Amino acid sequence: MLSYTSYYPSQAVTIALDATPLAISTGGIRRYTLELAQALSREFPQDQYWLLSDQRFPFPANCAANLHCGAGPQTAMERRWWLWGLEQEMSRRKVDLFHGTDFSVPYLSRRPGVMTLHDLSPWLCDSWQPDAARVRSRTPVLLRLGAARMVITPSEAVRRAAIDRFHLHPDRIVAVPLAANPHFQRVETNPERPYFLFVGTMEPRKNIALLIDAWRQVRQTSEVDLMLAGRVRSDFTTPAPEPGLRVLGAVADADLPGLYSGALACVYPSRYEGFGLPVLEAMQCGAVVIASRDPAIMEVSGGAAIHVEAWDRHALAEAMRAVASDPQKFEPLRKRALVRARDFSWRRTARLTHEVYEAARRSKT
């Protein structure tokens, strides 16, 4: 089993990461790819890191000198990216290992591959990921063929589920937790009105309709607003306007700490998660978190959040009502959240990920 404390520096390598998630403006996989690439380049200055994609993406500002941006397809044939173009680009850059940050690695490659399997949502419910038909069909084949020598999941909950579903050898799959960016810190705020906050991509899996219904119950006895912050996915029906409900859409990262810090609670009743990064961001800002009993979310919160069943509208409303009626009562929970959040850092994530790279390079299958 890999561990952070067992790390020792190794020979310098050149590593390519799939940068396609960076072409999307927001989202958990985008944040994962960006934060991981930057942390790896800082923690391992002897290595070279390349962000490669056949799509245009903004290159990170103020990055380390050993983090580079690939050129993308150079010929018409290279536009067949996963079949031909990616391999050609990696050969030009003398890449030693490829990390597929979003469920995919090449079928055929001249170098070891590592795949991040963020969750099992594409296989659990088609309506949760309507555009994931390619992932649903392709990823299991890649795993079965051993195209990814090692697999990373963001939580032990997903690791165990992936072992069962894809019949992976336990030594081949490692849970590496994510982290919140250090800029997520508690700040002093003075909101005009009390509010609950949801942060995340607005999509069916996030259970937002139930959240709104629970908030309406609370609003019958407490004058409290509900803010929804996040990119609105095309398959999500935006709720009709009503007093107290504010659909903010995508919010700049710089503005999120203030939103988290000023909220009565961050409410995250998702039906299923692989990690639940907004929960950790909120905890790092010292916010009270009310979330579903999803195994991955409970793994992340470590007992520093209020949990209810994702289907239980009444229990969610009661939890929200309790916080709204006596916010000071939950100050100990805020303090526990701050302590729990200290267990996570992108530095730790980068070092654990680098250990997985080393294991993939040592592996022969």
How does pLDDT run along the chain (365 residues), one tens digit per residue? 444 444 445 689 999 999 999 998 778 899 999 999 999 999 999 999 999 999 999 998 889 999 999 988 889 888 898 989 999 999 999 999 999 999 999 988 889 999 999 999 999 998 898 888 999 999 999 999 999 999 999 999 999 999 999 999 999 999 999 999 999 999 999 999 999 999 999 999 999 999 999 999 999 999 999 999 999 998 898 999 999 999 999 999 999 999 999 999 999 999 999 999 999 999 999 999 999 999 999 999 999 999 999 999 999 999 999 999 999 999 999 999 999 999 999 999 999 999 999 999 998 65
Q: Tell me: do 214 and 149 sit in the same domain.
A: no
Measured in degrees and rounded to the nearest 5, phi and psi for residue 207 equal: 70, 35
pLDDT recorded at residue 8: 46
User: What residues make up the domain containing 327?
Assistant: 195-341
Q: Tell me: do 350 and 259 sit in the same domain.
A: no
Q: Residue 65's Cα: distance from chain center in Å?
A: 25
pLDDT recorded at residue 302: 97
Helix axes 28-43, 346-362, angle to 10 degrees: 80
| Inside any domain, residue 206 | yes
pLDDT recorded at residue 10: 62
CATH of the domain at 150: 3.40.50.2000
| Inside any domain, residue 261 | yes
Q: Are 101 and 153 in contact (CB under 8 A)?
A: no
Q: Tell me: do 199 and 159 sit in the same domain.
A: no
| Inside any domain, residue 189 | no
Place of tokens 């419910």: 125
Q: Tell me: do 174 and 220 sit in the same domain.
A: no
Q: Are 211 and 315 in contact (CB under 8 A)?
A: no
How many domains in the chain?
2
| Inside any domain, residue 186 | no
What b/e sequence results for 32-61 when a residue is b if at least 16 CB atoms lie within 10 Å of its CB, and e otherwise? bbbbbbbbbbebbeebbbbbbbbeebeebe
Q: Tell me: do 269 and 357 sit in the same domain.
A: no
| Inside any domain, residue 185 | no
Side-chain half-sphere CA neighbours of 115 within 13 A: 26
Q: What is the pTM assigned to this prediction? A: 0.93
| Inside any domain, residue 254 | yes
Distance (Å, rounded) from C-alpha 362 to C-alpha 149? 10
Q: In what order do the strands lie in the sheet with 113-116?
A: 67-69, 48-52, 14-18, 97-100, 113-116, 150-153, 173-175
Q: Tell me: do 170 and 299 sit in the same domain.
A: no
What b/e sequence results for 237-251 when a residue is b if at least 16 CB atoms lie within 10 Å of its CB, and e otherwise? eeeeeeeebebeeeb
| Inside any domain, residue 293 | yes
Q: Tell me: do 156 and 219 sit in the same domain.
A: no
Q: Tell me: do 152 and 83 sit in the same domain.
A: yes
Helix axes 208-219, 313-325, angle to 10 degrees: 50
pLDDT recorded at residue 78: 86
| Inside any domain, residue 228 | yes
Q: Tell me: do 318 and 351 sit in the same domain.
A: no
Q: Tell me: do 36 and 141 sit in the same domain.
A: yes
Q: Tell me: do 174 and 52 sit in the same domain.
A: yes
Q: Tell me: do 34 and 173 sit in the same domain.
A: yes
Between the CA atoms of 320, 326, 330 and 331, what dihedral angle is there, to the nearest 10 degrees?
A: 140
